[in-house]
Amino acid sequence: MKIPTILLATCLLALGQAPAGAAKRPNILFMMSDDHASEAISAYGSWLKDYCHTPTLDRLAAEGMRFTNVCCNNSICSPSRASIISGQYSHVTGALNLGCRLKPNAPSYIREMTNSGYDTCVVGKWHMQQFPRGAGDYAVTVGQGSYFNPTLHR
């Protein structure tokens, strides 16, 4: 599970780059999509770029960072999300199937960002039994949620 670990390390390193007392810290926007196909975002330059126009995502990719060589060790929603949040493999987090529960003592980049003074918010499909721990705020679906007009719980 190299990518979540690298992501966590990158975020934590970014926190340490600003000198003590610096007023400006980098903004960090982490977006994760289920069943994401890179071909559907024109910033990746696939053959679909002429059909899939994604100017906002293209701008974010041009001004920030995008992953071009990644894999998912467990492509089920909840285990994958738990691994990215914790930087640990599914068998370590205990998140092995849909609707799982992250161990209370599992590391969390969300909690680390909050503890480092960042405003954090988790929005959208969460698909785990408990609400996001460590987030400053959240608005998430319970379970799968609805594709149209989903109910978000706070």
Distances (CA, A) of 130 to 39, 110, 137, 144: 33, 14, 14, 13
Delimit the domains of the chain by residue range: 2-15+31-119
Tens digits of residue pLDDT in 121-148: 988 888 777 778 888 898 888 777 777 8
Q: Is the pLDDT of residue 5 over 70?
A: no
User: How many CB atoms neighbour CB 151 within 10 A?
Assistant: 10
Q: Is the pLDDT of residue 35 over 80?
A: no
Nearest to 106 by CA among 79, 124, 75, 143: 79
State the chain's mean pLDDT as an integer. 78
Looking at residue 27, its pLDDT comes to 87
3-12, 97-106, 130-139: lowest mean pLDDT where?
3-12
With a pLDDT cut of 90, the percent of the chain lying above it is: 9
Q: What positions carry a catalytic annotation? A: 77, 127
What angle, 0 to 180 degrees and rounded to 10, lies between the N-to-C axes of helices 77-86 and 2-17? Answer: 40
**Distance of alpha carbon 152 from alpha carbon 45, whole angstroms:** 34
